[in-house]
Chains A and B, each alone.
Chain A
Amino acid sequence: MLTHVLSLGAASGLTKGFGIAIGGGLGAVGAGVGIGIIFGKVIEAVTRQPEMRDEITSIQWLGFALTEAVFFYGLVAGLLSYVLT
């Protein structure tokens, strides 16, 4: 399936962009789900215990940045495939 798609892409001269498209797109899916979960949980936690707000927000940014990085791993992998092919 994938090779078929890739050969189609090669025929139309799109192969170079494919790495970025797949890497960035799938990476964005994972990171999107993860960031959604993090902020959802933060809202839940703060509504339950508003007095913990400061502590929770400082942890929230750590989780956000760690999850967001996953998207960039996908993007960098895509960029690498773009540069190396």
Chain B
Amino acid sequence: MTDRLNKLTNKQILWILVGVWLGGTIILIAALGFGHRNNEFQIQNEFKLVNWTHWGVFSINRAVVYLFLAAFLTVGTMLWISRRMQMRPNRVQTAVETLYSLMRDNITRGNMPDSMARTWFPFLAALFLFLWWSNIIGYLPLPTNSEQTFNLFGAHIPSFALYASTANISVPLVLAVIVFVIFNVVGITKQGPIGYTKSLIPSGVHGPILLLIFPLEVVSTFTRLISLTVRLFANILAGHLIILFMAGGLAVILGLSFLGWALLPVAVLVYLFELGLIATLQAFIFATLAAIYIAGSVTHH
């Protein structure tokens, strides 16, 4: 049996997998048929925040747990790595050093003059790592959905769910507000209020056209707040929604059981795409844009 399996070429294996997938779909349609639309399952409930404690604004819900987890991982992994640094790096240290050089050379030094890069590296690196961990743990199923519980040896355990704190608009918004305040304050302290206002105007613009350009530039400064927030939040939310829909959500809502099997490969592909590319890319973009904005508020453009 194993001999015969080893003889198969890649193409044959691919065809067998396609056959299994197609056959499974047909068998499931034949066995279970078409169901009815299910109005009980609401997809937005998967992102609902239920307060677990009643401490007013300081109540703990799943987003707070994810935030604490991300903060703990950010600090913990970096401390752990820095304690056991070796001259001849092992695999983990090499990976972290790659990450470190990405933060130092690409995010910070690539966008800032060297003197500023030294000042702002800690902030930008912490921002990047925190967002990176937040996005990464968003793709691990954790038992956080306390609305639906399952029974394990008599204990009611919340069902496992995918959730990311960055898929909630308030977390990216707060981080964007921090970046917004920082680059405005840095600009005002370095150039003075008048100088900073003047620096908003693109060079080479004179005369009455200023009446048109200046409000536009002010508005575009505020738009940075929205674009930073929505880019991160919508990317993560849309990724989670697509994974949710493909990995069973659509089958439950439409009542078509075979969709759960038929769309599973899509779900796996989207999951790998989100975990491998989007999670890191969005953290990278957020930190890079923060660096560009901070550097841009000091220099005259």
Q: Which residues of A contact B (CB under 8 A)?
A: 58, 61-62, 64-66, 68-69, 72-73, 75-76
Contact = CB atoms under 8 A, between A and B. Distances in A.
A69 B231 CA distance: 5
Contact of B288 (A62, A73, A75): A62
A75 B238 contact: yes
Interface stretch (B5-13, B84-92, B115-123, B278-286): B278-286
B234 A73 contact: yes
B230 interface: yes
A58 B110 contact: yes
B234 A72 contact: yes
B235 interface: yes
B227 interface: yes
B149 interface: no
B217 to A, nearest CB: 19
Given A72-B230, A72-B231, A76-B230, A62 B238 contact: no
Contact of A65 (B110, B230, B238, B282): B282
A62 B234 contact: no
Please tell me the size bucket of the interface on B.
10 to 19
A58 B285 CA distance: 11
Nearest to A72: B234
A65 B238 CA distance: 14
Contact of B227 (A58, A62, A69): A69
B59 interface: no
Given A58-B110, A61-B281, A66-B285, A72 B227 contact: no
Nearest to A83: B44
Closest 9 CB pairs of A and B: A72-B234, A69-B231, A65-B285, A76-B234, A65-B281, A58-B106, A76-B230, A72-B235, A75-B238
Given A64-B281, A69-B234, A75-B238, 15 more contacts: A58-B106, A61-B284, A62-B288, A65-B231, A65-B281, A65-B284, A66-B231, A69-B235, A72-B230, A72-B231, A72-B234, A72-B235, A72-B238, A73-B234, A75-B234
A62 B234 CA distance: 17
21 contacts: A58-B106, A62-B285, A62-B288, A64-B281, A65-B231, A65-B282, A65-B284, A65-B285, A68-B235, A69-B227, A69-B231, A69-B234, A69-B235, A72-B230, A72-B234, A72-B235, A72-B238, A73-B230, A75-B234, A76-B230, A76-B234
A54 to B, nearest CB: 10
A72 B227 CA distance: 10
Contacts of A61: 281, 284-285
Contacts of A66: 231, 285
Interface string B221-242: 0000001001100110010000
A62 B107 CA distance: 11
Contacts of A69: 227, 230-231, 234-235
Nearest to B280: A61
Contacts of B106: 58
A66 B281 CA distance: 11
A82 B41 CA distance: 17
Contacts of B234: 69, 72-73, 75-76
A72 to B, nearest CB: 3
